Chain A
Amino acid sequence: MRLRTTVTVTVALLVPTALVACGREGSPPGSVTALLSGDRQRLTYPVSHHARDTGSLSLARAAARGRIVIGVKSDHPFLGFEDPVTGQRVGFDVEIARMIAADLGYSAGRITWKTVPPQGRETAIAQGDVDFYVAAYTINDERKKQVSFAGPYYIAGQDLLVKKENRDINGPAGLKGKTVCSVTGSTPYQRIQEPRFGAKVISHDSYAQCVQDLIIGETDAVTSDDTILKGYAAQNGGRLRVIGRPFSTEPYGVGLAKNDKVLRSAIDDALEHHMANGDWRRAYEDTLGRSGTGPVPHPPRIQRY
């Protein structure tokens, strides 16, 4: 009896180990990394070496540890994404974060990425868990009470994602009687429930589950910021389409510790610099531009306050 138990436990432990040893290398086809590989060399940004004036708590802390900690999201393809297989970070927000880090004097190798769930972002920024936060973070007054914002670095807006062949829905007016999916409690979810849209709203924990529902025909559209939707359209190569008529304004800002004016103006400078030299545009083309939605937008004007 005891022998049999020992054998069973050993086998149970060995089988997964043996399986791992005989797997294929690389990323599975259809994954974000596989979509990116091969066609284009990765964007790089020259690292600035001139010393920053001090007076910023966050920058002093980063200098002490020799690394900068950036808060991002991990589950938005081509916006803020972490490949669960290789750990590679991909996306427009990620590129923006790399640009800022380069101008603050941190090369790609000296960045520590930290995935912060949306419900924990104000705490993470206020607590100094992250030095700054770049992840589809809309600037608004309620949030300004808890954190400061640099930017905006992109003007997003709530939009709709539909199947490529769907011609019925061409904007929010076409939603009457249709089913729309969004993430529970999010701003787009709250807005789409307004009676003027007349839509039947369902919600999930993640946008990927909404996109799944869209593909299998459970919902007619997915609604969120156009950036997030463009990422899913790019990931699902040509099968989905973003309408491209945003019906809200969501200025994306870089979140940072409240009243750290030095860091805020440093980030604003970095954004302005990379918007002017074309890095911003190249970053967009390499990520969200893959969705094939309209022309590349113009970078917004930085609002210093």
Chain B
Amino acid sequence: MTSVLFDTRGPRARRRHAIYSVVVVGGVAALLTYVFLRLLDAGQFTAAMWQMFSYEGVQRRILAGILDTVKAFLLGVAFSLVLGILFATTRLSVHRLVSVPATVLVEFFRAMPLLIMIFALYNTAWLRSSVTAIGGSLRDHLGGPGSWLAATFASPTLWALVIGIALYNGAAQAEILRAGALAVPRGQREAAVALGMRKGQLMRAVVIPQAVRSMLPSIMSQIVVTLKDTSLGFIITYEELLYAGKLLAQNTATPTGYPYIPVLLVVGPCYIGMCLLLSTAARRLASLNGRTATAPIRREKGLLRRR
């Protein structure tokens, strides 16, 4: 295994690297053992700490937490992509009356901590009253499915979280799309104009599709960020996975404290798993896309190329 950054290894370098390898592997193993022993010592692996997970109610609660996380995530992604396209096109508009407010909005939402935005949204009166009102009318007019919809979606905490996520990530997606749109070769626009396309058509049919394509990796990593952002729902007690985990932990008192560490060891991998699933899907999508993309994917060409 070689790279442009270092020479092919001779016998001495090979020996030296073998020593480094042993040191690194040994160091990591020692650290992990130390962590394990300290946790064992603190009573984190006793039966009392772990037996809660064998109860059906607890398992259901964790599963419900995952579902609530996914629900907020899917809604958040959908709205953030719509907002992203909206913000990007308005910011690129030639009319200052449109582009200036869009720029101000995007810059504001990019500068606000999401935590504080969700907190403020939750305390916004119109948001609460409209969500409650919509839930009520769903229940009144649609019968059975309506009350299911209301029970699943008409919650002010869900919408405060979703709108917060959508505004913040929408602004971020807009910046990614805008960068992509600016990188579309001039010739493409000129050709579209020569064909007699109007501005809207040019955006819809020529610029945005190519921007999305070339920016797909960035868009996908922003979507992973969106998934992680759902965990900020704790500030307004939206009962997603992490919040459910905390509730479960503080429900069970044992002589060595609450089972926070066991809950972390269960919930952490759930998040990492979900994010990895998303990133893998993203890579698949990018490689599928690579076949037809106008901009070649540059990774294999630079210094990181493996020989």
A–B contact, 8 Å CB criterion (strictly below): yes
| B residues in contact with A82, CB < 8 Å | 247
CB pair A123–B246 under 8 Å, yes or no, is no
Contact A30 B254, CB 8 Å, known A24-B55, A127-B128: yes
Chain A count of residues within 8 A CB distance of the other chain: 45
B294 CB-CB contact with A under 8 Å: no
Q: Are B129 and A127 in touch, CB under 8 angstroms? A: yes
Partner of A215, one of B55, B156, B256: B256
Give B126's nearest chain A residue, CB to CB: A127
Asked if residues A20 and B63 are in contact (CB atoms below 8 Å), the reply is: yes
Collect the chain A residues with CB atoms within 8 Å of residue B59's CB: 16, 19-20, 23
Q: Which chain A positions have C-beta within 8 A of B237?
A: 74, 115, 117
Q: Which residue of A lies closest to B54 (CB)?
A: A24
Q: Contact at B247–A74, with CB atoms within 8 Å?
A: yes
Closest to A65 in B: B136
- Tell me the A19-54 residues at the B interface (CB within 8 Å): 19-21, 23-32
Task: Identify which of residues 150-168 in chain A touch chain B, using a CB-to-CB cut-off of 8 Å.
Answer: none
In the complex formed, the residue of A with least CB distance to B65 is A84
Within 8 A of B (CB), among A107-147: 115, 117, 119-120, 123-124, 126-127, 129
A77 contact set on B, CB distance < 8 A = 250
Contact pattern, B 39-69, Cβ under 8 Å of A = 1, otherwise 0: 0001000001001101111111101001000
Known contacts being A28-B58, A30-B48, A85-B58, is A129 close to B132, with CB within 8 Å?
yes
Cβ of B156: which chain A residues have Cβ within 8 Å of it?
Answer: 129
Say yes or no: is B125 at the interface (Cβ < 8 Å to chain A): yes
Provide the residues of chain B in CB contact with A301, threshold 8 Å. none
Question: Is the C-beta of A86 less than 8 angstroms from some C-beta in chain B?
Answer: yes
Binds B, one of A234-242, A246-254, A291-299: A234-242
With A120-B236, A127-B129, A206-B246: A27-B119 Cβ-Cβ less than 8 Å: no
Q: Which residues does chain B contribute within 8 Å of A206, judged by CB atoms?
A: 246, 250
Q: Are A31 and B236 in contact (CB under 8 A)?
A: no
- A28 and B132 contacting across the interface, CB-CB below 8 Å: no
Interface status of B289 (Cβ within 8 A of chain A): no
Inter-subunit contact B119/A119 (CB<8 Å): yes
- The distance from the CB of B71 to the nearest CB of chain A, in whole angstroms, is 16
A269 at the A/B interface (Cβ < 8 Å)?
A: no
Given contacts A23-B55, A127-B128, A129-B132, contact A120 B60 (CB under 8 A): no
Cross-chain contact A75 with B58 (CB below 8 angstroms): no
Q: Chain B contacts of A32 at CB under 8 A?
A: 251
Q: Does A190 contact B (CB under 8 A)?
A: no
B257 an interface residue at 8 Å Cβ cutoff? yes
Interchain nearest-CB distance for B151 vs A (Å): 12
B277: nearest chain-A partner, CB-CB: A12
CB pair A29–B258 under 8 Å, yes or no, is no
Q: Smallest distance from the beta carbon of A75 to chain B beta carbons, Å?
A: 6
Would you give the shortest CB distance from A185 to chain B, in whole angstroms? 12
Q: Is A83 an interface residue (CB 8 A)?
A: yes
Residue B56 contacts which of A20, A216, A236 (CB distance < 8 angstroms)?
A20
Determine the distance from Cα of A159 to Cα of B281 in the docked complex, in whole angstroms. 53
Decide if A59 is an interface residue (CB 8 Å cutoff).
no
The minimal Cβ–Cβ distance linking A194 to chain B, given in whole angstroms, is 27
Which residue of B has the minimal Cβ distance to A215?
B257
Known: A24-B56, A84-B251, A117-B236. A29 touches B51 (CB 8 A): yes
Q: How distant is the Cα of A120 from the Cα of B237 in the complex, in angstroms? A: 10
Distance in Å from the Cβ of A147 to the closest Cβ of chain B?
14
- Nearest chain A CB to B45 CB, angstrom units: 15
The reply to whether A75 and B54 contact each other, CB–CB distance below 8 Å, is: no
Docked Cα-Cα span, A19 to B42, in Å, equals 28
At the interface, yes or no: A212 with Cβ under 8 Å from chain B?
Answer: yes
A211 at the interface (CB under 8 A from B): yes
B13 sits at the interface (CB 8 A):
no
Are A30's CB and B253's CB within 8 A?
yes
Residue-by-residue, is A182-224 near B (CB-CB < 8 Å gives 1, otherwise 0)?
0000000000000000000000011011011001100000000
Q: Contact at A23–B54, with CB atoms within 8 Å? A: yes
Within 8 Å CB of A83, what residues of B? 251
Docked pose: A127 CA to B63 CA in angstroms: 32
A238 → chain B closest CB, angstroms? 10
CA distance A143 to B42 in the complex (A): 43
Which residues of B have CB within 8 Å of A23?
54-60
Residues of A bordering B, CB below 8 Å: 12, 16-17, 19-21, 23-32, 74-75, 77, 82-86, 115, 117, 119-120, 123-124, 126-127, 129, 205-206, 208-209, 211-212, 215-216, 235-237, 239
Contact sample, A vs B, 19 pairs, CB 8 Å cutoff: A20-B56, A23-B56, A23-B57, A23-B58, A28-B52, A28-B58, A29-B48, A30-B48, A31-B52, A120-B123, A123-B125, A206-B246, A206-B250, A209-B260, A212-B258, A212-B260, A215-B258, A216-B257, A239-B255
Additional pairs, 9, CB under 8 Å, beyond known A30-B253, A115-B237, A208-B249: A20-B59, A25-B55, A25-B56, A75-B250, A119-B235, A120-B123, A123-B123, A211-B257, A216-B257
9 smallest beta-carbon distances between A and B, as pairs:
A23-B56, A85-B57, A208-B250, A28-B52, A215-B257, A84-B247, A20-B59, A30-B252, A236-B253
Binding site for A on B (CB under 8 A): 42, 48, 51-52, 54-61, 63, 66, 119, 122-123, 125, 128-129, 132, 156, 234-237, 244, 246-258, 260, 273, 277
